[in-house]
Amino acid sequence: MSTRGLSRGGTRAIMVPWIQALGMSSPLGTLVQGCAAIRAGLSSARPSPYLSHVGEGESLAQPVMTSEASLVTLGFSNVGRLVALLVEALEDLSRRVSLSTMPADTLLFVAMPDPVERGIPLSPELEADPFRRCEALGRRVMERALDGVGVTWRGGAWHFFSAGHAGFAQALKAATNALAERRCGNCLVVAVDSLCGPDVLPEFSVQRRLKTSDTPTGFIPGEGGVALWLTGRSASVSPSGPEPRITLRAVMLGEDDARFRGATLPPDGRTLAACVTSALRMAGGDGSRLVLVGDHNGEEYRAREWGMMLMHLHSERLGQETQVSWFPAEGFGDTGAASGALGLCVAVRSLQRRYSPSPMPVVLSISDEGPRAAMVVSVAT
């Protein structure tokens, strides 16, 4: 299969970094509880306190379902909501590694939503500059979250990414490159997003993207945050318990400029399938037992791309022994910029708890725009 559309950043692999620890916040709980709930098929969807909907031919308003981490967000909106989610993720991470003693060569990589898309107020000059507005939001959220967990940042530079669902994969790829090039020995990679707040739900409703009685192919908004501690293979990694250590085997990035939500051309799944095949090839996996952890949220264009991707993978004879698809959005809702990170948590836990049918599950991200990504993890050998 052709890898046309894959970025240069997705073709370089020098070393295999370790996932030393993960922390998570979600509507179904922190890392262990939340991933166990996903495995059990539980859903956190509840009527939103902020929005109702009157469908065609209906006289009474019906509640819009959302998946909220209400015990964490406590009614906050905008920046406060993102901070609350990230604080819980960092606290969960701190149960496994000490953030207060982070090495000085630690770099920070942050995946955030576009503040304009989330209805977060900005000054006119920031609103006109996509990179600056992403960085401004990222710094504001990170500074408050670190302060909320009582941690003073002693590491190095901060880097920010905003590319929709694939933003986390882009941040993760940049972190692995930094480790491979010996620019740092450790990386903290975080992602956070909320599609549930009172400021963002009305816009999704106007766009008719929410799952309602008259829009069965809409999505259920969710929210969550993840904090991941990544370290080089040569670094000293102490055992964290009886569960196996996990390595990040490959991150493959792609770009489909012609086929995306709202585009004239329908999705054909080629770029996404090329990401999967190239990532498995980089990771050294044969793909006979295939586990795909996707960010499919119920929307029609995502379903079309997923189906076309599976067709291309079948033509490559991948998944001949086993082919399984897991969709965390069924339990967490659509978590936007955090979706890839939450999917990675699900994949890692499936390896640690030894229920993954594949030794190398693949996590996929499909942005509303062109970016596509595939990430492969495995048990360390």
**Helix (H) or strand (E) segment spanning residue 134:** helix 130-148
- Please tell me the number of Cα atoms within 13 Å of 153 on its side-chain side: 18
> Cα separation of 137 and 131, whole Å?
10
| pLDDT mean over 121-138 | 90
> Cα separation of 132 and 153, whole Å?
21
> Cα separation of 374 and 381, whole Å?
22
**Is a pLDDT exceeding 70 seen at residue 9?**
no
- What pLDDT, on the 0 to 100 scale, is given for residue 6? 53
- What pLDDT, on the 0 to 100 scale, is given for residue 31? 98
CB 112 within 8 A of CB 193: yes
Q: Which of 23, 32, 62, 28 is nearest to 45 (CA)?
A: 28
Q: Mean pLDDT over all residues of the chain?
A: 91
pLDDT, tens digit (0-9, with 9 covering 90-100), for 349-363: 999 999 999 999 999
Least confident of 66-75, 122-131, 134-143, 290-299: 122-131
Q: Tokens representing 221?
A: 């908004």
**Is a pLDDT exceeding 90 seen at residue 85?**
yes
Q: Which of 327, 353, 325 is nearest to 339 (CA)?
A: 327
pTM score above 0.85: yes
Query: Which is it for strands 223-231 and 186-194: parallel, antiparallel or unpaired?
Result: antiparallel
